[in-house]
Structures are given as structure tokens and as C-alpha cells.
Structure 1
């Protein structure tokens, strides 16, 4: 017997287990833990654009739209209310709006939510009800079934954030700060040869500064909590490129603090337990590292032009690798190496799995063939 998918509408906040403002990484992690409820999920995106909106199509009922820059849940669409594989029960507070026995119609929406503005859809703050199956309006509606028909059947329910008075929200724009973001990174400002300053939600939260060669493992735990994983460094293949024959001879004792939920790795010295390197991940769809880490919204800050320069120039995670490279080293071509992460994953094939490692003074960029930066390493 197929279990019923029970969802409740929270206008402007979410639907069922999904909260507006949640990160793509968090939602996919949630789905991974509920494969018995959501066995089929399609991830749709533009492979050539780092800031492409991402759609999770959870067959057959749900479409989740995530914003392009910060990968946060922007819009939830519940569709195919009459599809019984599985059946859906839709509730609002203590009222059952739709179930396998009850059809949601225009009159039922009006009785529950009250009057609304004229139009083909019923629009309320944070939620709307559509009578089109997939948002397509081909102008072939039956003349006996016009938009004011009380018994018109609702085909889709769309949940978004509530607009402020007079505000017009971009359907593909970013999500307004909300409680679902609390405790997550708002901005990671990189200073080369120094470290990174982390700003968190809510906006009045104190920043955390992590400095290479200074911040300790204890500092990280106090400021960021326990890492989700601790990984001991076993891969020393890069030492072959070192000019120092004895470089990292004690490398086996080094270890990573993996803050997957923040999109950051810290390489710690196994002897001093001080930060040696920082790796910030961009969570670019279609790459081998996609969904291993949450997108970290990093920015690399340049040097102030003078003592009065309060806002020095920056490049950001969504800028092209060549733009960032020119920012870091104007007029010079950095040395590069090829990396194929699928070499370590048997059975994993991707259309473009190879990336380039671009070396700069204190920074290494990992970039795709389409110039998207998937990670930045500070040392």
C-alpha cells in the first residue's frame, strides 16, 4: 500500500517538511534521509552558468526552485493533487483542503482563505492557487468553464515568501533573510595570506575570523562547533611538485576539519593543531563535488588603494576564473594542472569531470572547463 504524502501549507514560510530559505544542500540531505517517501528526484540546472537557479523535481507532486546565487529555496510548487501515486493530503491549519476523497476547488479556497484580487489565479500573501496543470495557458479554455466558475478544480499550489507592501519580487531572485537561515554563513570574506572572516545569519550575529597559522582547532570548535567530519590527511601526491624534498614529511599527522554544512574545510597541523590551509567550496551543479558541501558565498578582497579606501574591490564565487585570476595576478598567466576527481570514484561519470588547478601567491583556484570556480584554497 502506498503511504499518503501529508503536507501542510504555511503561507510565506513553507509546505510540509520544506522551509523557504533553506539551502539546496540541506534540502537534498533531507531527501536522502527520506528515500522511502521521495524515491525519485531530478536535479535540473544550466551547466554553463554558476548562478543558475536549480529545480528539484520530486516526482510526481513537488517542484522546488532554488535561487541562483545563494541556492536557497525560493518557491515550492505542489502539483498533480489527484495523482494517487502517492495520494496527497493537503492541510491548512486544522482544515483539510485536498485528499484522495476531497477535491480542492475554487469555492473551497475562498471559504478557507477569504476574498482575493481578480485574476485567473487565486493570490494570497505567501500562497497562490492555480487552475492550470503546468502553468501553461494556451487560450483553449472551455467557454462554459470560465475563471469565475466556483467548482473549478485547483491544479497547483505555489508557496513563496510574502511581499512587503508595494514590493514586486523577482520570480528568480534571491530569498529575503528569514529564520531558516539562522546559524548559516551569509558571507565569507577572504584576505590572501591571512584567512577568512565569516558573517552569519541573522545579520546582527558576531563575525568569526579564522587566520592561517594562528587559529587553533579549539578556536574552530568554540566558534563553529564540532565539524561534521574529521578526515586524516592521507593523500600526499602533491608533495612531488614541492621544491622542498622534505616538504610535509609529517603530513600523515595532519587532519581536516570538514564543515560540510558551511562549505568549508580546514587543514590542521597534526603537531601544533593550528590552521594550515582553508578550502571554500562553491557547490557548482554538475561537478564531482556537487552536494558534498553547501555553497559557501566567498569573496576575495583586494588591497585598499589608499588609507581612505573603506570598501576595497572584491571578486566573488560566481565570477569567472579568468576574471578572478586577473584580479589576483594582473597580466600574468598562472601555472595550472589538470585534475579528474572521478578517478577516485569507480562508476562515476560526468560530462565534464576534469578541472584545472590555477596557482597564485597564497591562493589556488579549482575551475571547470567553463571557467566556473568550484573551490578556492588559501595557504
Structure 2
């Protein structure tokens, strides 16, 4: 049995629990926890450039949720099939019913509630507009313009309003807003050092510097809160490739602090309880780890040109593997190792289950066949 949807409309902000600016990871996690309310969810993306192109989440039959390509933030909400009874949907605005199974939303009703607006094929207001075609089937065709007062509204679209009061374009990123408060917005990586984290709101939050070999497990708990999961490392399959000398101390297998909500893992020594490695995830759709971690918007900072250079070169998560590899080492890329993350999961089948590990001095890149970086490991 489907649950009926009774949801409030907030122009420029959201629709019910769907708030503009929410991360893809957060929203999909919420949908997964309410399978009876949202039983049918489909995800569409460009498999050749899934790290940088918009993602569309279809919550059938009523909602299309468009997420920005780089930040993976909810950008646009489309409410459609307003009269589909499976399940029935009621749209409210400021406590009043706009559309329901018993109330058809028409052009005249929109005008009464929202007032006058500029003429056109749709009724557009700041942060919301109303369309009279089902799915833009007639787009590109010559369709007579009509302003019949009884025209039935077929779709309602909600989008963010920028600082100048304009609507955002389909490929724009979402501006910082209340839905992002307290969330990790950017991570700057320095090889052989660690990572600097920047949180929202950016104007009032201080950056957090996590250093390999210095930051402790207690520091992480004080600054980031308790991890969602603690994983005790028992997989030693990579140890055969290590080049540890007899003079180096044995720090044991260690344990991971998993901060899925930040897209970060920290490997901590079981003897000193100091951070030994940092793993940063890109949350690339179609990859084996998709949706396990939230996207961490990372960038690798290189060495400045001189002492007065305050804008050192950087490469970001959406740059291709070849570009980042040359940035890390101008020589030819090192030999790679193949990693099948689905080897222990017989029921999981993906078109590109195998990724490739490329090791450099102090950093490992995990890349797909399409040259997208899915994770970085600092050590």
C-alpha cells in the first residue's frame, strides 16, 4: 500500500522534507529509511562523466529531484502527475490546498494565490513556476500560446533564488544556504601533511587541520564528533606490497573511524591512537562505493612558486586522472593495481566494478576506466 503525500510548498526553499541544498547522500539515505512512503526510486546519470554532471533522482510517480553535478546538492524539484492517485498527493501553500485529488490546480487558481506575473507559456514567480505541459513534450515545436484561465497545471518546479533574485540555471551550483549548516564544504589536501576541512557557514566557521602523525583519535572526536562507525582493520592483503623496514615500529593493524557524512575515513594506530592514513571519497555514481559516503569536495594543493605565492596550484576531484597524475609526478604514471570492490559481494553487479590504484609518494589515487577519481588515500 502506498502512503498518501500531503506536502507543503516553499518557493525557493523546498517541498516538504525535500529542501534545496540538501546533499545527494543525505536525501537518498532518508528515502531508504522510508520505503513505504517512497517505494520506487530511480537514479539517472551520465556514466561517462558521473563525477561532474547533474544527477536526477525520480521518486515515482510525482517527484523529479535534480542534483548539481559537482557539489551533489539538491538544485531543482519538479512535482508532476498531480492527479495520479498512486499515491495521491496534496500540495499546500501557507496552509491552503493548491492541488489535491479533489481539487484541480488551474491557471486562475495560481493567479489568485500568487498574484500577477510576466506573460508566457508558464507562470513564473521567484523560486517557483507552474507549467501546463506534462513533460515538455512540445518543447521545440510551434505550440500556440494560450492563457485560458481554466488551463490545468501539470507540473510545479521549485528552484533556488540567487542573491540578485534570479532563478538558477540547470547547470549552476547551489549557493550556500541553511540546509548546508554544519556540513563539510571543502577539503584541501597537502601530501605528507594532511587535510584542511572547511565547513558551512563559511563566513563564521574556522577551518580544521588534521595532520597525519599528529592528530589523535581524541582530537577527531572533539572536532568532528563521534564517528558513525568504527571498523577494526583485519584486511592485510595490501601488506605484501609495503616496503616497511625493520627499523620502523610495528603499529599493528589499527582501526578506522568512518565519517560517512563527511566522505572521510581515518586509519588510527592501535598503539599510539594517532592518525596514520586519511581516505577521502568522491561518491561517483556507478562506482562500487556510491552512496556509502557523502561526496567530499576535495582539492590537492601543490607547492607554491615562491615564498610570496599565496595562490598555490591545485587540482580538484573533477579533474581527470591523467591531469592529477601529471600534477603529482611529471613522469609517466606508475604501474597500477586492479581492485574489484565487489569481489566479496556476489549479489552486486556493476558495469565498472573494477577500479585502478595508482601509488605516488605519500598518496594513492583510485580511478575508474573513465579516468574519474573515486577516492584518495594519504599516508
- In the alignment, which residue of structure 1 is the partner of 2:42? 42
Alignment of 1:324-343 (within 5 A): 324-343=324-343
Q: Which runs of 5+ in 1 are unaligned?
A: none
CA distance, structure 1, for counterparts of residue 201 and residue 169 of structure 2: 22
SS across alignment from 1:323:
helix
- In the alignment, which residue of structure 2 is the partner of 1:129? 130
SS across alignment from 2:342:
helix
Whether the aligned pair in 2 keeps the contact of 1:338 and 1:355 (CA below 8 Å) is yes
SS across alignment from 1:189:
strand
- The alpha-carbon deviation at position 345 of structure 1 amounts to 1.2
Whether the aligned pair in 1 keeps the contact of 2:57 and 2:65 (CA below 8 Å) is yes
CA distance, structure 2, for counterparts of residue 303 and residue 113 of structure 1: 54
- The alpha-carbon deviation at position 94 of structure 1 amounts to 1.1
TM-score under structure 1 normalisation?
0.96
Q: Is 2:83 the counterpart of 1:89?
A: no
- The alpha-carbon deviation at position 335 of structure 1 amounts to 2.9
Aligned residues: 375
- In the alignment, which residue of structure 2 is the partner of 1:177? 176
Q: Which runs of 5+ in 2 are unaligned?
A: none
Superposition RMSD on alpha carbons, in Å? Answer: 1.6
CA distance, structure 1, for counterparts of residue 230 and residue 290 of structure 2: 20
Q: Is 2:29 the counterpart of 1:26?
A: no
- In the alignment, which residue of structure 1 is the partner of 2:201? 202
Alignment of 1:1-379 (within 5 A): 2-49=2-49, 50-137=51-138, 139=141, 147-165=146-164, 167=166, 169-204=168-203, 205-244=205-244, 251-252=252-253, 254-379=254-379
CA distance, structure 2, for counterparts of residue 162 and residue 243 of structure 1: 54
TM-score under structure 2 normalisation?
0.96
- The alpha-carbon deviation at position 336 of structure 1 amounts to 1.4
CA distance, structure 2, for counterparts of residue 6 and residue 235 of structure 1: 48
CA distance, structure 2, for counterparts of residue 46 and residue 163 of structure 1: 27
CA distance, structure 2, for counterparts of residue 243 and residue 52 of structure 1: 39
CA distance, structure 2, for counterparts of residue 249 and residue 338 of structure 1: 27
Whether the aligned pair in 2 keeps the contact of 1:365 and 1:377 (CA below 8 Å) is yes
Whether the aligned pair in 2 keeps the contact of 1:54 and 1:67 (CA below 8 Å) is yes
